[in-house]
Chain A
Amino acid sequence: MTETVQAFDQATLWTVIAGLAIGSFALRFVFIGLVGNRAMPTWLLRHLRYTAVAILPALVTPLVIWPAATGGEPDAARMAAAGMTLAVGLLTRNVVAAIFSGAVTLFGLLYLLG
């Protein structure tokens, strides 16, 4: 077994775990626990509706275009796998089918091109 090089120290890790644990719970508790049945501003709800479709693509895009595994060089197999996952996900609305198609594309192309 090879020794993994850890990019961060213990203090950082536990700070992140504690901060995320408290923060994630606060995000979930704020409305159901504190707001109760009071109405919330519509402008806030309107923005919250788009959090998932805005933040997840922002996270994924750089990983697709500049993957760390190739040292940041764009990679045909990974791009095609990403495209296939998105396409199947859009067409079937099925998360499992999309993951499966993406994985098959990735392994197929890595094998053929590799």
Chain B
Amino acid sequence: MTATTPNSYFWRGIRDSLPFVFVAGPFGLLFGVLAVEAGLNLLETMTFTMTVFAGAAQFTALQLMQENTPTLIVLASALAVNLRVAMYSASLTPYLGAAPLWQRTLAAYFTVDQSYALSIVRFELEPEMTIAQRMAYFAGTVGLIAPLWYLATLAGAMMGAQIPESWALDFALPIAFLAMIAPMLRTPAHVIAALVSIVTAILAAGVPYNLGLLIAGFAGMMAGAQAELALERKARTR
């Protein structure tokens, strides 16, 4: 008889996370390179990546700081980009909420796109998992990816300024984000949210302090929520 110990769930998490190696590796490398190009030294870059541990928010902050955006707006915008992890946290709570506080504190730090996406699917598929097994699986999903992200950032920061301009690294960030957004457009409401956000971002491009980002983001969120309500109403009346 095979016993499904927490230990085996940890390794299962590691195995399931393997495809994300090809996302976290290049993404971390890119952050390291861009951070050094923006003028950060090795210590600053690594402190940034290890304390914040949120790729998209880190890139946003870096981009806005280079455009001389006021600090408060840099913070608000980068945290707005990271609002989705609050949703992940909310969504994981019914599954992990009963774990000891120190485990939940660690889990909070490690809540990122990859760990959330893998864990929520596994937890829904296997409702009989114990809390310990769930935590072990969650730990597995970041057991390889998190160290890889740190090391890739370090490698990128060390290569840094040696990368020639002809590599067009300026455009690596838009490409990486677009590639992340596309698979998220699962429902008409998600598509509407993205379209409203794009149109608003173009219209609000002239707004000072890069506030257009926050305005377009919130417009998109409200559009998505309203579209979801409208679609639900339509489905009910049909």
Q: A interface vs B, CB < 8 Å?
A: 1-2, 4-8, 12-13, 15-21, 23-25, 27-33, 35-37, 40, 43, 45-69, 78, 81-82, 85-86, 88-90, 93-96, 98-99, 102-103, 106-107, 110
Q: A23-B75, A28-B86, A53-B181 are in contact. Are A64 and B221 (CB under 8 A)?
A: no
Q: A4-B37, A61-B201 are in contact. Are A55 and B179 (CB under 8 A)?
A: no
6 A-B contact pairs sorted by A residue (CB < 8 Å): A16-B74, A49-B225, A61-B202, A63-B173, A78-B171, A95-B183
Q: A17-B47, A63-B174, A106-B168 are in contact. Are A30 and B86 (CB under 8 A)?
A: yes
Set of chain A residues within 8 Å of B121, measured between Cβ atoms: none
A5 to B53 Cα, complex, angstroms = 26
Task: Give the nearest-CB partner of A69 in chain B.
Answer: B170
Q: Is the CB of B161 within 8 A of A1?
A: yes
The 8 A CB mask of B162-186 against A (1 = contact, 0 = none) is 1001101011111111111111110
Set of chain B residues within 8 Å of A21, measured between Cβ atoms: 51-52
Is B68 located at the chain interface by the 8 A CB criterion? yes
A64 to B175 Cα, complex, angstroms = 9
Instruction: Kindly identify which residue among B60, B74, B108, B229 contacts A25, using a CB–CB cutoff of 8 Å.
Output: B108
Distance (whole angstroms) from the CB of B63 to the closest CB of chain A: 8
The 8 A CB mask of B55-83 against A (1 = contact, 0 = none) is 01110110101111001001100111111
A2 to B160 Cα, complex, angstroms = 11
Set of chain B residues within 8 Å of A57, measured between Cβ atoms: 181, 194, 197-198, 201, 216, 220
Q: Is the CB of A15 within 8 A of B97?
A: no
Set of chain B residues within 8 Å of A85, measured between Cβ atoms: 175, 178-179, 182
Q: Is the CB of A56 within 8 A of B48?
A: no
Give me the 5 closest cross-chain CB pairs, A-B, nearest first: A89-B182, A54-B220, A50-B224, A6-B39, A58-B216
Classify chain B: how many residues form its interface, as a range.
Answer: 35 or more
Interface residues of B in 189-238 (CB under 8 A from A): 189-190, 193-194, 196-198, 200-202, 205, 212-213, 216-225, 228-229
Max chain B Cβ within 10 angstroms of own Cβ: one of A53, A88, A93, A94? A53
Set of chain A residues within 8 Å of B67, measured between Cβ atoms: 7
Set of chain B residues within 8 Å of A27, measured between Cβ atoms: 79, 82-83, 85-86, 89
Distance (whole angstroms) from the CB of A54 to the closest CB of chain B: 3
Set of chain A residues within 8 Å of B130, measured between Cβ atoms: none
Q: Is the CB of A7 within 8 A of B71?
A: no
Set of chain B residues within 8 Å of A18, measured between Cβ atoms: 51
A11 to B185 Cα, complex, angstroms = 39
Is B143 located at the chain interface by the 8 A CB criterion? no
Q: Is the CB of B181 within 8 A of A58?
A: no
Task: Give the nearest-CB partner of A46 in chain B.
Answer: B225
Q: Spot the interface stretch: B1-9, B99-107, B148-156.
A: B99-107
Is B131 located at the chain interface by the 8 A CB criterion? no
